[in-house]
Amino acid sequence: MRVREVINRPVIDTSTATIVGRLDELVIDPARKRIVALRVAGVKGAANLLAWKDLSAFGADALTVESVERVRGVDAFEPSWVVDPVWLGKRILSDKGNGLGQVMDLEFDARTGRLETILTTEGPRPAAAVLGLGSYALVMAEDAAPLKAMTRDELYQRAKELGLPGRSSMTKKELLRALS
Amino acid sequence: MRRQVPARELIGRPVVSLAGDDVAEIKDVLLSASGGRILGFTLNGRGFFSGPLKEALPWKGVQGLGTEAVMIAGPDVFCPVEEVLAGTGPAEGNVIGNRVVTDEGDDLGEVTDLVLAVDDGAEIVGYEVATPSGECHFIPLPRTISVSGEALVVAAGEQ
């Protein structure tokens, strides 16, 4: 599924069978490369954020939630937890300082919330290559070296660059899983 | 992919962390006394009112030097300017504006820029020199004999 195609999809409260809002934005954490929250427009009051774990389903036509109460205000979340990076339209730089175009769209897995592909003005790139997203640019590794081909040390280096916690005790398999 | 660029192209280039923030921009290129090595860069802040930063970027802190940005792991690679210049001779810093003289005593003009060869990193491959009549020449580094705070001495030969 792509971000641009899901914006404005209705959010339905399954306990009342009513539409309680519309999907406004996906909050995607660049470190974990997952959707961590959904911004919902149209809910009364200051509530407009739904944690990914509180989403019941991300369907082709609508998103479902057990109850509209699951949609909270930003104060209900730990400050460090809710990141608010802007992905679409962001300039992309490689870790070597070269321009890689701009972000056109993002492809994600609707079941797990995992970010899979960055669709850029210069073609698709794997989300695994994302190193960071800041105010100025999205930074991606220039070498599209597949993670599977990397040694345990190389994987550890990549995990170190990303600041992944618990990396020193991870096996090669665990590092692979954490990085992809 | 190696390309040759005049060092002035780097001036103003954003310095971006791997986290994606533009933490500074390049102000000047700092050279070793022999003129053959880049020691690092002095920095300006980003933003309209930003002036020079106290910190400099040592060469070893450069993660990548590409067409759009100079990449660093993060702002902790910065260090005071004195540290970047430490260990070089008395003639370091800016060679721009130096006179260029051959070892036979001919004045070739004035250094207008360094020329760098850039791929994954950058090295100085020579100097851009403007003659008094305004012509522009490239003098490759191997011809350079010595560099001081005032002049560059190069081997005489075809220009």
Q: What is the ipTM of this complex?
A: 0.74
The Cα B81–Cα B61 span in angstroms is 13
Phi, psi of A6 (to 5 degrees): -100, -15
Position A108 confidence tier, pLDDT thresholds 50, 70, 90: very high
Alpha helices by DSSP H, A23-171: 152-162
* pLDDT reported for residue B127: 85
- What is the tens place of the pLDDT at every residue in B31-60? 776 556 788 899 999 987 788 998 999 999
Selecting from B18, B21, B120 the residue whose C-beta is nearest the C-beta of A161 gives B18
Residues of A with Cβ-Cβ distance to B71 under 8 angstroms: 93-97, 139
Any B CB within 8 A of A102 CB: no
**B100-123: average pLDDT:** 81
Top-confidence range, A96-100, B6-10, B94-98: A96-100
Share of residues in chain A with pLDDT > 90 (%): 61
* pLDDT reported for residue B91: 47
The Cα A16–Cα B66 span in angstroms is 55
Average pLDDT, chain A: 88
- Identify the residue with better confidence: A42 or B159: A42
Any B CB within 8 A of A45 CB: no
Of the given ranges (A58-62, A66-70, A176-180), which has the lowest mean pLDDT? A176-180
Smallest CA-to-CA distance from A32 within A9, A53, A4 is with: A53
Instruction: Check pLDDT > 70 for residue A83.
Output: no
Whether the CA torsion A26, A89, A9, A58 is positive or negative: it is negative
DSSP state of B3: E
Neighbours of A167 (CB within 10 A): 18
Contact A111, A123 (CB under 8 A): no
Residues of A with Cβ-Cβ distance to B19 under 8 angstroms: 131-134, 139
Give B126→chain A minimum CA distance, Å: 23
β A63-65/A91-94 pair status: unpaired
* pLDDT reported for residue A149: 66
- Identify the residue with better confidence: B76 or A162: B76
Phi, psi of B142 (to 5 degrees): -55, -25
Instruction: Report the side by side order of strands in the sheet with A34-41.
Output: A49-51, A34-41, A18-29, A10-13, A63-65, A55-58
* A98 with B67: Cβ contact below 8 A: yes
Top-confidence range, A35-44, A139-148, A163-172, B132-141: A35-44
Contact B109, B131 (CB under 8 A): yes
The Cα A78–Cα A56 span in angstroms is 22
- What is the tens place of the pLDDT at every residue in B66-91? 889 999 999 999 999 888 877 555 44
- Determine the residue of chain A that is closest to B15 in CA distance: A97
- Identify the residue with better confidence: B20 or A177: B20
Residues of B with Cβ-Cβ distance to A94 under 8 angstroms: 64, 66, 71
* A96 with B16: Cβ contact below 8 A: no
* pLDDT reported for residue B27: 92
Who contacts A4 (Cβ-Cβ below 8 Å, separation ≥6)? A88, A105
Contact B30, B85 (CB under 8 A): yes
Who contacts A172 (Cβ-Cβ below 8 Å, separation ≥6)? A151, A152, A155
Q: Torsion over CA of B48, B52, B54 and B55, rounded to 10 degrees?
A: 80
Instruction: Check pLDDT > 60 for residue A35.
Output: yes
The Cα A98–Cα A137 span in angstroms is 12
> Facing residues of A167 across strands?
none
Alpha helices by DSSP H, A25-171: 152-162
Any A CB within 8 A of B22 CB: yes
